[in-house]
Amino acid sequence: MSAKLKVFKEWLRANRTLPTAEIMRTTANKLRGHYAYYGVSGNSRSISNFAYQVELILFKWPGRRGKRGSLNF
């Protein structure tokens, strides 16, 4: 899971100039693919933890991008 989170952070860093709507749409597609691949019986806790970590990364990112400060989670 940590390797996938690292890949996601690197992707976000490389594509941070894209419009926010496109970043969110691509993130939703990435999460859907992750759920489809790793979504087996008994793995729901790990999948929900991965989604939570991605959400934290996404909320941390706009605060660095804009001048208004960070958004509250």
pLDDT in tens, the chain (73 residues): 889 999 999 999 999 888 889 999 999 999 999 999 888 888 889 999 999 999 998 888 766 655 565 555 5
Domain assignment present for residue 24? The answer is no
pLDDT at 10: 94
pLDDT at 26: 94
Q: Which has the closest alpha carbon to 46: 11, 10, 4, 13?
A: 4
Q: Within 10 A of 63 (CB to CB), how many other CB atoms are there? A: 13
Domain that holds residue 6: 1-12+46-62
Q: Within 10 A of 39 (CB to CB), how many other CB atoms are there? A: 12
pLDDT at 40: 85
Contact (Cβ atoms closer than 8 angstroms) between residue 50 and residue 7? no
pLDDT at 67: 59
State how far the Cα of 53 lies from the Cα of 47, in Å rounded to an integer. Answer: 10
Instruction: Tally the domains of the chain.
Output: 1
Quote the pTM value.
0.76
State how far the Cα of 19 lies from the Cα of 40, in Å rounded to an integer. Answer: 33
Domain assignment present for residue 7? The answer is yes
